[in-house]
Amino acid sequence: MKRLAVYCGSATPADPRYVQLAADVGTALARQGIGVVYGGGKLGLMGAVAGAAMLAGGEVIGVIPQALVRGEVANYDCELTIVADMHERKAAFTRLSDGFLVLPGGVGTMDELWEAVSWAQLGYHAKPVGILNALGFYDGLLAFNRHMAEVGFVRPAHQGIILADTELDPLLERMRAHQPPQTITTMDPATL
């Protein structure tokens, strides 16, 4: 993995552990030679990941829609690409990265996570999707994902798309060992 798209919040929660987590991830990725592709802003967890990665000498590529340049305080200190909209942003994340690493975040982070999972099911990419479940942030989401599988809305072949761990290094190892699932487009329609 040469680069990971890092999905996380542009907000700064009151609990300082979230910002520290993001900074620690940015530093760790840089030290492991893994570049960061992220939302291109200086605020919140996004800014903490990028700032720490750059401080540690890592590659950082920001991709930000024109409408968010001012609101998310575009980070001109990194390699920054300004795109027309969120669709272009997410397509760039997929094109530029070797996988997706999800840290705590809000609605935008959820949108990015579920699109990465959906696209893996469809075969639009064959890249790992990892959730860093630090501080138990994603316990509920992971339980809901299991519930969707138990009810039958996530096919058995796709139940392993989301890789989750509470620690970064084991998660990265699992992401490196990732084997893409059989995609919906290659399945027998009778089994869908």
The order of strands in the sheet holding 100-102 is 79-83, 60-65, 35-38, 3-7, 100-102, 129-132, 162-165
d(CA 69, CA 150): 42
Token code pair at residue 19: 């910002």
Domain boundaries of the chain, sorted by first residue: 3-191
* Cα atoms in the Cβ-side hemisphere of radius 13 Å centred on 104: 24
Write out pLDDT tens, residues 20-58: 999 999 999 999 999 999 999 999 999 999 999 999 999
Mean local confidence (pLDDT), 102-106: 98
Q: For 130, phi and psi rounded to 5 degrees? A: -115, 135
Report yes or no: 103 and 25 within 8 Å, Cβ to Cβ.
yes
Q: Is the pTM of this model over 0.75?
A: yes
Write out pLDDT tens, residues 108-137: 999 999 999 999 999 999 999 999 999 999
d(CA 122, CA 50): 30
CATH of domain 3-191: 3.40.50.450
Report yes or no: 11 and 129 within 8 Å, Cβ to Cβ.
no
